[in-house]
Amino acid sequence: MTEALINDAIISIDKVVKRYNGFTAVDEISFNIKKGEIFGLLGPNGAGKSTLISILCCLFTQDSGKITIDGFDNIKDSIRIKNVIGVVPQEISLYPTLSARENLAFYGKIYGLSKKALHSRIEILLDMAGLTERADDMIQGFSGGMKRRINIAAALLHDPKILFMDEPTTGVDPQSRKRIYDTIVDLNKQGMSVLFTTHQMEDAQKLCHRIGIVDKGQLIALDTLTGLLELTGESDLIHVEAKDIPPNAVESIRKIETVQQVSIDEDSMTVQLLKGRELLVNIIDILISEGAKVEFINIKEPDLETLFLHLTGTKLRG
């Protein structure tokens, strides 16, 4: 995508707040998404990503703050917004006993497409999904990846300006994942702005021009991938899987001068630190001497997971 395409904001989000029963799911989030941009919202489950994307899709409204999409206010002009956005929900929102073609025809009619336009769009999208041969088969006979592709196609019938995708690669095999990536890139090349939520780092790293990191309802970082990774400095990430990690060992590791964060799960520990390769032996020594049964060790270069741990003190997954 050329820089020329990325210019004005097509989505503007200003101090948006959404609460449920006293719990603040979205807490004063503000940012813009530029026209022609692929924007990823990254964060763990429950961070507030899906709530924010649901508000942007006009599924419900925010308690306070202002949202403008393609120049329309999301509260006053929701029907106009719905005509310029396409939504790919996290679930396979298709009717299993209808064929791929019938599902697409149903959603196309809901978007008010004429018979001719509908026929033409369905053929284009079936081809894009690589499912022209299976067009008249019922969805219930499709693999997970095939269903995902039709799920995306159903959001593109009316050729939207903006595509919202909620966890589009959840539960798909590597081949289908690659196909979905290619589809997103192709759509973007045609000028479509894309906002997707994910808790998969791979999605964000491979696709996004910019990434926003959300945790506990707040936007804690927003930049290009390169910009974000610079925040971690020269940090490495050591991941240890071990049984019976004693608290003393964790305390001793925390006391190492260059250690920045230590995160503990049931049978694993993740340590973010400078000069990880030099200090790896020290960490293993501490664990073994304190009685931990080390089973697996991995050292990683800085990535979004490193960044997330750096920013929040917790791992991205889980």
Residue 220 · residue 214 · CB < 8 Å: yes
Site for another protein in 145-184 (CB under 8 A): 154-155
Residue 112 or 233: the one with the smaller Cβ distance to another protein is 112
The identity of residue 29, as a single letter, is I
Using rule CB under 8 A, residue 1 touches another protein? no
d(CA 257, CA 143): 50
Using rule CB under 8 A, residue 95 touches another protein? yes
Using rule CB under 8 A, residue 117 touches another protein? no
Binding segment for another protein (CB under 8 A), chosen from 91-99, 247-255, 261-269, 305-313, is: 91-99
* Helix H or strand E segment including 65: strand 64-69
Site for another protein in 39-58 (CB under 8 A): 54, 57-58
Number of residues that bind another protein (CB under 8 A): 28
At closest approach, how far in Å is the CB of 318 from another protein? 24
Using rule CB under 8 A, residue 131 touches another protein? no
The identity of residue 172, as a single letter, is V
Using rule CB under 8 A, residue 94 touches another protein? yes
Alpha-helix residue ranges (DSSP H) falling in 2-64: 49-56
User: Among residues 12, 24, 93, 218, which is the contact residue for another protein, using CB under 8 A?
Assistant: 93
Residue 31 or 106: the one with the smaller Cβ distance to another protein is 106
The identity of residue 137, as a single letter, is D
User: Among residues 27, 28, 77, 102, which is the contact residue for another protein, using CB under 8 A?
Assistant: 102
d(CA 308, CA 232): 9
d(CA 24, CA 304): 25
User: Among residues 40, 43, 48, 89, which is the contact residue for another protein, using CB under 8 A?
Assistant: 89
DSSP state string for 263-280: EE-SSEEEEEESSHHHHH
Residue 309 · residue 235 · CB < 8 Å: no
Binding segment for another protein (CB under 8 A), chosen from 76-84, 246-254, 296-304, 309-317, is: 76-84
Number of DSSP helices (H) and strands (E) in the chain, helices first: 11, 14
Query: Please, is 151 exposed, middle or buried when counting C-beta atoms within 10 Å of its C-beta (0-12, 13-18, 19+)?
Result: buried
* Nearest one of 182, 205, 179, 208 to 193, comparing CA atoms: 208
User: Among residues 6, 98, 135, 220, which is the contact residue for another protein, using CB under 8 A?
Assistant: 98
Using rule CB under 8 A, residue 85 touches another protein? yes
At closest approach, how far in Å is the CB of 56 from another protein? 10
Site residues for another protein per CB under 8 A: 54, 57-60, 79, 82-83, 85, 87, 89-95, 97-98, 102, 106-107, 109-112, 154-155
